[in-house]
Structure 1
Amino acid sequence: MNPEIHLAAHHLRAAELRAEADAHRLALAARRPAQDLRTRVGWTLVEVGLRLASVPPKPQIA
């Protein structure tokens, strides 16, 4: 294979990989705020569920 063709193919593939990495990075950055909200709502639901599931202590008769 001609070295110049090999080098051109390498540059083309490197540019494709950089574009793919940029797209992936942008997709992750766009998704993070929703993930934070989802996490907070999830933990709030867990806390509410634990409060509903716990049995209140019985008063002690002295």
Structure 2
Amino acid sequence: MRPESHLALHHARAAELRAEADAYRLAAAARHPRHLRRPRDLRTRLGWALVEVGLRLAATPKAASAIP
């Protein structure tokens, strides 16, 4: 195959893939609008709250072990 025809096929396939990706992005945005998607925010806040609780538990001195 000549290099020019190979390059033309490559450009055509790249354009097809870009069109498919754009169509997929549009379909995904239509299925899940941004204003309805909040699980990542909630999950992040919950995760940091658990980290904070764990750090507080680890830093708290044990009162029972101080009494002989």
TM-score range, shorter chain: 0.5 to 0.7
Q: Normalising by the residue count of structure 2, what TM-score does the alignment of the two structures yield?
A: 0.48
- Extract structure 1 runs of 4+ deviating beyond 6 A: none
Give the corresponding residue for 1:12: 12
Q: Normalising by the residue count of structure 1, what TM-score does the alignment of the two structures yield?
A: 0.53
Give the CA RMSD over aligned residues. 1.5
Match status 1:28 vs 2:32? no
% identity of equivalent residues: 76
Q: Deviations over 1:10-62 (max 9, x none)?
A: 000000000000000000000003xx4xxxxxxxxxxxxxxxxxxxxxxxxxx
* 5+ long unaligned stretches in structure 2: 37-68
* 5+ long unaligned stretches in structure 1: 37-62
Give the corresponding residue for 1:55: none
